[in-house]
Amino acid sequence: MSILVIAEHDNEEIKASTNNVVTAATNLEGDIHVLVAGSNCSGAKDQAAKISGVAKVLVADSAEYEHCLAENIADLIVAISADYSHILSPATTNGKNYMPRVSALLDVAQISDITAIESSDTFERPIYAGNCIATVQNSDSKKVITVRTTAFDAAQNDGSAEVVDLQESHNLGISEFIKEEIAESDRPELTSADVIISGGRGMQNGDNFKILESVADKLGAAIGASRAAVDSGFVPNDYQVGQTGKIVAPNLYIAVGISGAIQHLAGMKDSKVIVAINKDEDAPIFQVADYGLVADLFTAVPELDAKL
C-alpha cells in the first residue's frame, strides 16, 4: 500500500509544510504520493514533483478545488483513498478543516497533530496544550493523520516524481467561496521562519508593534503575537502563536511583553532558543526562556534594535 500526502499550496507554490509532511511519511512503509488539488495549479504541481522522496504526484486541477472548500476536497480524497494505508496532511487550517471530514466519510478515527511516528499504527501527539504527550495506537484499517509540521524537518527539493492528472470532479454545491483577506508581507511565514519576534499585551497598542518590525527587519524575522494582543485588536488573527493558533519552533523566539500563559507556551516552547523581555520578573515566560531580560520593553527593544 502507498501513502498519500495532501499538499498545502496556493496554486502557484507549494508551502514548506508539505515538505515537512513528506519527511513524516518517510517513517512509514510504502511509496509516497502527493495530491495537489487546486485550480490553475501547474506551479504547485511542478514544485510538488521536485520534493525528494515523492514517487508520484496526483493533480486535480479544476475550479471547484480553487479555495480548498472542505466538502469538495474531502470527497476527492475519499474517491482516491482505496490504494492508501495512510493519508497525511499538515495540521494547517486547511488540513484541520478537510481531514476530519475525510475520516468520518471513511468511518475511521483521525489522529491529530502527530509529533512522532513509532510504527505504522502508533503515534505520539501532544494533548492538554502540550502538557502531556500521548502515545496512541490506532486500530482502523486506514490511518488519517494531521502532522505537526514543526516536529519534522522539511524534505529537500531534488526529486523528480511522475505526474498523473486525475479526472475527478467533486462539487457538492453546498458551500461557496466569497472572499479572503490575506495579509501581504515581505517577511517569512510564521510557521517556517528561523527567527520570530512576538508581542503580547505589554505592547499596549498596535502602533507599538513598529518597534518589533525594526528588529524583525534586521534579523529577517517573522512577527507573531500572543492571544491577548490579538484579542485586544493590536494585530490580526494570523499573528497568533499558541495552542489554538500557530505552532512554531524557530531557532530563535523573542517574546516581548508576553506573560507566558500555558496556551501561548504550547505554541512556541519547542523553539531552539527562547528570549523573554518583560518587566514583571515573576512572569511565567521566564521559566521557559533561555535568556531572560527583566526590563521595560519600550527601552529594551529600541536598545536591542540599535545594537544589532
Site for other proteins in 201-260 (CB under 8 A): 219, 227, 230-231, 236-238, 243-244, 246, 251-252
Pairwise CA distance, residues 294 & 281, whole Å: 6
CB of 66 to other proteins, least distance (A): 12
Q: Residues 3 to 62: which contact other proteins by CB under 8 A?
A: none
By the rule CB under 8 A, 282 interacts with other proteins: no
Consecutive H or E run containing 72: helix 70-79
Size of the site for other proteins (CB under 8 A): 89
Rounded Cα–Cα distance for residues 24 and 18 (Å): 10
**Nearer residue to other proteins within complex by CB, 4 or 274:** 274
Is residue 101 part of the contact set for other proteins (CB under 8 A)?
A: yes
We find the least distance from the C-beta atom of residue 297 to other proteins, in angstroms, to be: 11
Residue of the chain from 180, 186, 207, 282 that contacts other proteins (CB under 8 A) = 180
Q: Which of 9, 33, 45, 67 binds other proteins (CB under 8 A)?
A: 67
For residue 167, the minimal CB distance to other proteins (Å) is 24
- Region binding other proteins by CB under 8 A among candidate stretches 28-36, 130-138, 150-158, 206-214: 130-138
Per CB under 8 A, contacts with other proteins among 132-161 are 132-140
Distance CA 109, CA 292 (A): 42
Which three cell numbers, joined as nine digits, stand for 61?
A: 486541477
Q: How many CB atoms lie within 10 A of CB 63?
A: 12
Rounded to an integer, what distance in angstroms lies between the CA atom of residue 24 and that of residue 193? 19
- Return the SS3 of 112: strand
113 lines the binding site for other proteins (CB under 8 A): yes
Q: How far apart are CA 10 and CA 180, in angstroms?
A: 13
End-to-end Cα separation, the chain, in angstroms: 52
Query: To the nearest whole angstrom, how small is the minimum distance from the Cβ of residue 92 to other proteins?
Result: 5
Smallest distance, other proteins to C-beta of residue 223, A: 14
Short-list 131, 139, 28, 34, CA closest to 86: 28
Shortest spacing between CB 161 and other proteins, in angstroms? 25
The minimum distance between CB 301 and other proteins, in angstroms, equals 9
From the list 257, 126, 240, the residue with the least C-alpha distance to 199 is 257
Handedness of CA 44, 151, 195, 239 (dihedral sign): positive
**Nearer residue to other proteins within complex by CB, 55 or 136:** 136
Verify binding: residue 308, other proteins, rule CB under 8 A: yes
User: Counting contacts by CB under 8 A, is residue 294 touching other proteins?
Assistant: yes
Q: Decide: is 177 part of the binding site for other proteins (CB under 8 A).
A: yes
Instruction: Retrieve residue 137's grid coordinates.
Output: 495506537
Helix (H, G, I), strand (E, B) or coil at 154: coil
